[in-house]
Amino acid sequence: MIEIVFRRCIVVLPTLLIVSMLVFGMQKLLPGDPILTMAGEDRDPATIAYLQEKYRLNDPIPVQYVAWLGQILRGDLGISLRTEQPVLGLIVQKLPVTIQLAAFAMIVAFLIGVPAGIISAIRKGTAVDYGINVVALSGLSIPNFWLGIMLILLVSVQWQLLPASGYTSPFENIGQNLRTMVMPAFVLGTGLAGVLMRHTRSAMLGVLRSDYVRTARAKGLSEKTVILRHALKNALVPIITLSTLLFGELLAGAVLTEQIFTIPGFGKLIVDAVFTRDYAVVQGVVLCTAVGFILMNLVADLLYIVVNPRLRDAA
Amino acid sequence: MNRIKQLLLVATALVSASSALAADLRIGLQDDADVLDPHRARTFVGRIVFTSMCDKLFDINAKLEIQPQLAKEWAWSDDGKTLTIKLREDAKFHDGATIDAAAVKANIERAKTLPESLRKSEVASIDTVEAVDATTVAIHLVKPDASLLSQLADRAGMILSPKAFETGDFGQNPVCSGPYKFVERIQNDRIVLEKFADHWDAANFNYDKITFIPIPDSTVRLANLRAGDLDIVERIAPADVETVKADANLAFHPVTGTGYQALTFNLKKGDKDTFPIGHDKRIRQAFELSIDRNVINEVVGQGIFQPAYQPFPPTSFAYDKKFEGAQRDVAKAKSLLAEAGVERVKLEIAFGNNTASQQVYELIQAMSSEAGFDISLRPTEFAALQAALKESDFEAGQSGWSGRADPDGNIHQFVSCEGNLNDAHYCNEKVDALLDEARSVTDPVKRKALYDQVQEIIQDELPIVYLYYQPWPFAARANVKGFTAYPDGMIRLRGVSSEG
């Protein structure tokens, strides 16, 4: 077993190396010079020369890459060229915000998508089914930014119920934290709710046609028990699998939502860094994300091996 | 009875809580500031934060006149090469230390010599700084520099605690001497300042806490103001001006800034045959005659894009109404093109890809087409545009300048042969000589005469076509009293308070 784990880990290394090259190389392809952005409106030649030297931007790109890689291997992601805060610190500060947003959006998606899917399945072919389908499609098609701005105008400006944007840490004020999270989570969650609704509906339809549901009904169980205790439990299995996949998508979708609601999360960090050519932050954030995904895949691979002895033999 | 008492107590607590909130001010900025060190910072929004956090030797008023701040009195030597400043005795740093001549000397030397200093060009004329006594500083110049006072009325004149910049991590924990001191910063989220009780002018600053919140989207920024989550926001989009004016809960505070938006021609590109507009001033004159700045102001600017024909704002002493010429004249433009021997002129304009710029350049494209210009538009992301301008990879490009209080800052670097920002690659020895001379005399009347001569030349040769003055449209909640918009776009909180 240890040998298998070791072998899998070895396979991960070249992947990580390629990712690091891509992260570094693609950034260099962006038009625009970070030093020009840093040198300010006046673009003083002496300052430009000094900064180029300081950040070793005069060196050939492979030399810069090796230096950067060495730094990463020592656990140093560098400092933000823009604000001089350590990149690792920024990531640690911003990631939980985005994870909270994604988790809340997931809850919203579940609360809307799953019940809608069930109702739509048991009322198949009726006006209710069509109605829910139309709403689900709208959820999928309405752009996040439009829905976000409309919600801000309605809920915050007209009704003055919730703060228009911003973020408060739950450790600072949990009530305010929840208030700032409601609208962004709703905006991010609605798109996903449509997907979940469609999948729940088809899974439920499949299950409702199966023999054990017919048996349950034949036993004389109430329709409520049949649906909730027997059908839904089984229909949920593919939904849960899908949800875990969609969570990654939520993290990506958070980029836009964070921009609209000015939530200082991971997405906003990377977008702002790209616009200001803050190389260190872009590289650090993309690399961390990539490493995160690779590690999750590695863990999943290892878990398969743990639960399935046949794979162990094959490996 | 007890119940009523309890209710009253709760109500009192609530009222006192809300009055505590009223002493806080929340300001919405368009961007997040960069490093919080005035000597190394570059962003406009950073300057807004520093205005509340860091006192300067001088300040300016709404007419761009130099005012005392940390400097109580000042005098120039007869040869214009020594500036003697008498400092206030009661000014303190946020760490409690007194501001003295030695601290001023250390600051100016830091601005001059720190490798990352972005203030070097602003204090380049300073040779040495001498602490004559505890409150007297003598600044000796290499050559007379009339723009120095206004440089010292901005970031170059901010006095930071030498103890903090010598030992600490200043950009993360700035220690200045302004009416508000630094509390915390969360990148992309907020910068929080609190009142500095020992400030020499503390009585005139009414808020206990100032929070700067970066919200890049102007619609969202305005929505926050309308929802009451912010008290003041900067840079209202022209399209939102009517909304602000129509809202009784808001007050609109627009001001014409010291900066401008302009179009720069790349005079270095190609030759007379391949890129005629870069090599024949008549074609550039025809271009200018083909556009109507008032239309830009009315259609895109909703009245806040005041037409600019010269680099100096109306508030500047160097401004002259006689240069407000060049009204649209398509027939004259066509005859100039005929004189130059061309019928249709192709031109690509690179500009920053935001809504207002897109609209401005589409209008220019339509207007100039009538005179004979075939304009293609190249919307470019901001960092890429900067690089294109610097590397001469453009035909005509948008150039925006946030403006300086002294006229020198709005012209010298742009049209002098070796100017850092001379993206046009314009070079005229006479212009250089006049601009250098204007730097060396302190009398505004004499300086203006020199700038007039420069304007005569550049209005004829047109390396840059000025379009409109950079507006600084602020909006505030109606209960914010005493707020004045300054032409430099800074937010000065002296005397500002919230009622109700």
A9-46 residue pLDDT tens: 888 888 888 988 998 888 888 787 888 888 877 788 88
Look at A58 and B211; give whichever has higher pLDDT. Answer: B211
CA distance B458 to chain A (A): 21
Instruction: Give CA torsion, residues B403, B409, B415, B419, to 10 deg.
Output: -120
Q: Are the beta carbons of A37 and B229 separated by less than 8 Å?
A: no
Q: Count Cβ atoms below 10 Å from residue B418 Cβ, excluding itself.
A: 9
Chain A environment of B124 (Cβ under 8 Å): none
pLDDT tens, residue by residue, B325-359: 778 999 999 999 999 999 899 999 999 988 899 99
Q: Residue B249's closest chain A neighbor by CA?
A: A157
pLDDT of residue B243: 94
Q: Are the beta carbons of A165 and B384 separated by less than 8 Å?
A: no
Q: Which residues contact B188 (CB under 8 A, 6 or more apart)?
A: A94, A264, A268, A269, A272, B32, B214
pLDDT tens, residue by residue, B153-187: 999 999 999 999 998 789 989 999 999 999 999 98
pLDDT of residue B7: 46
pLDDT tens, residue by residue, A45-101: 888 888 888 888 888 889 999 999 999 889 899 888 888 889 999 999 999 999 999
pLDDT tens, residue by residue, B360-377: 999 999 999 999 999 999
Q: Is B184 on the interface with A (CB under 8 A)?
A: no
pLDDT of residue A46: 82
Provide the 3-class DSSP secondary structure of residue B98: strand
Q: Which residue has the tokens 């027939």?
A: B331
CA distance A253 to chain B (A): 18
Q: How far is CA A293 from CA A12, A183, A269, B107, B477, in A?
A: 11, 28, 19, 48, 46
Least confident of A71-75, A181-185, B200-204, B209-213: A71-75
CA distance A279 to chain B (A): 13
Q: Is B21 on the interface with A (CB under 8 A)?
A: no
* DSSP letter assigned to residue B212: E
End-to-end CA distance of chain B: 31
Determine contact, residues A116/A197, Cβ cutoff 8 Å.
yes
pLDDT exceeds cutoff 90 at B1: no
Q: How many residue contacts between A and B have a Cβ separation below 8 Å?
A: 137
Q: Is B220 on the interface with A (CB under 8 A)?
A: yes
pLDDT exceeds cutoff 80 at B424: yes
Chain B environment of A259 (Cβ under 8 Å): 216-217
Chain B environment of A93 (Cβ under 8 Å): 186-187
Which backbone phi and psi does B301 adopt, to 5 degrees?
-85, -5
Rounded to whole angstroms, how far apart are CA atoms B277 and B283? 5
Q: Residue A82's closest chain B neighbor by CA?
A: B34
Confidence bin at B13 (pLDDT 50/70/90): very low
Q: Is B229 on the interface with A (CB under 8 A)?
A: yes
Q: Residue A275's closest chain B neighbor by CA?
A: B383
Q: Are the beta carbons of B383 and A149 separated by less than 8 Å?
A: no
Chain A environment of B388 (Cβ under 8 Å): 31
pLDDT of residue A313: 65
Rounded to whole angstroms, how far apart are CA atoms A312 and A305? 5
Look at strands B250-253 and B256-265 and give their pairing. Answer: unpaired
pLDDT exceeds cutoff 80 at B145: yes
pLDDT of residue A141: 87
Provide the 3-class DSSP secondary structure of residue B401: strand
Dihedral sign, Cα of residue A143, residue A148, residue A153, residue A158: positive
Rounded to whole angstroms, how far apart are CA atoms B156 and B118? 9
Mean pLDDT of B86-95: 96
Q: Are the beta carbons of A83 and B118 separated by less than 8 Å?
A: no
Dihedral sign, Cα of residue A210, residue A212, residue A217, residue A218: positive
- pLDDT tens for chain A, 315 residues long, are 678 778 878 888 888 889 889 988 888 887 878 888 888 777 888 888 888 888 888 888 899 999 999 998 898 998 888 888 899 999 999 999 999 999 999 999 999 999 999 999 999 889 999 999 898 888 888 888 899 999 999 999 999 899 998 899 999 899 999 999 999 999 999 988 999 999 999 999 998 898 998 998 899 888 888 888 888 888 887 788 787 778 777 877 888 899 889 999 988 898 888 888 888 899 898 888 888 878 877 877 777 777 767 766 655
pLDDT of residue B287: 97
pLDDT of residue B169: 86
Enclosing H/E stretch for B445: helix B444-461
Chain B environment of A84 (Cβ under 8 Å): 35, 171-172
* Length in residues, chain B: 500
CA distance B115 to chain A (A): 7
pLDDT of residue B269: 94
Mean pLDDT of B111-128: 92
Q: Are the beta carbons of A83 and B384 separated by less than 8 Å?
A: no
| pLDDT above 70 coverage of chain B, percent | 96
Q: Which residue has the tokens 């470019």?
A: B380
Q: Is B214 on the interface with A (CB under 8 A)?
A: yes
In the predicted model, what is the mean pLDDT of chain B?
92
Determine contact, residues B136/B105, Cβ cutoff 8 Å.
no
Chain B environment of A268 (Cβ under 8 Å): 188
Mean pLDDT of B125-154: 96
Q: Is B219 on the interface with A (CB under 8 A)?
A: yes
CA distance A164 to chain B (A): 5
Determine contact, residues A68/B175, Cβ cutoff 8 Å.
no
Q: Are the beta carbons of A259 and B217 separated by less than 8 Å?
A: yes
Q: Count Cβ atoms below 10 Å from residue B89 Cβ, excluding itself.
A: 12
- Identify the CA nearest to B299 among candidates B243, B254, B259, B359: B359
Confidence bin at B14 (pLDDT 50/70/90): very low
Q: Is B188 on the interface with A (CB under 8 A)?
A: yes
Instruction: Categorise residue B91: left if φ over 0, alpha if ψ from -120 to 50, beta otherwise.
Output: beta
pLDDT of residue B294: 96
CA distance B332 to chain A (A): 36
Look at strands B250-253 and B480-481 and give their pairing. Answer: unpaired
Q: Are the beta carbons of A82 and B384 separated by less than 8 Å?
A: no
Chain B environment of A276 (Cβ under 8 Å): 383
Q: Which residues contact A260 (CB under 8 A, 6 or more apart)?
A: A144, A145, A148, A149, A152, A165, A184, A187, B217, B220
Q: Is B421 on the interface with A (CB under 8 A)?
A: yes
Which backbone phi and psi does B51 adopt, to 5 degrees?
-60, -35
pLDDT exceeds cutoff 60 at B4: no
**Could you please report the per-residue DSSP string of B46-65?**
HHHHHHHH--BSEEE-TT--
Q: Are the beta carbons of B220 and A149 separated by less than 8 Å?
A: yes
Q: Residue A38's closest chain B neighbor by CA?
A: B42
Q: Residue B399's closest chain A neighbor by CA?
A: A41
Mean pLDDT of B232-237: 96
Q: Are the beta carbons of A42 and B420 separated by less than 8 Å?
A: yes
- Identify the CA nearest to A182 among candidates A148, A216, A210: A148
- Identify the CA nearest to B463 among candidates B335, B308, B277: B277
Look at B100 and A277; give whichever has higher pLDDT. Answer: B100
Q: Is B390 on the interface with A (CB under 8 A)?
A: yes
**Could you please report the per-residue DSSP string of A217-285?**
HHTT--HHHIIIIIIHHHHHHHHHHHHHHHHHHHHHHHHHHHHHTT--SHHHHHHHHHHTT-HHHHHHH
Q: Are the beta carbons of B35 and A32 separated by less than 8 Å?
A: no
Q: Is B170 on the interface with A (CB under 8 A)?
A: no
pLDDT of residue B19: 40
Mean pLDDT of B60-80: 94
Of B186, B214, B420, the CB nearest to A43: B420
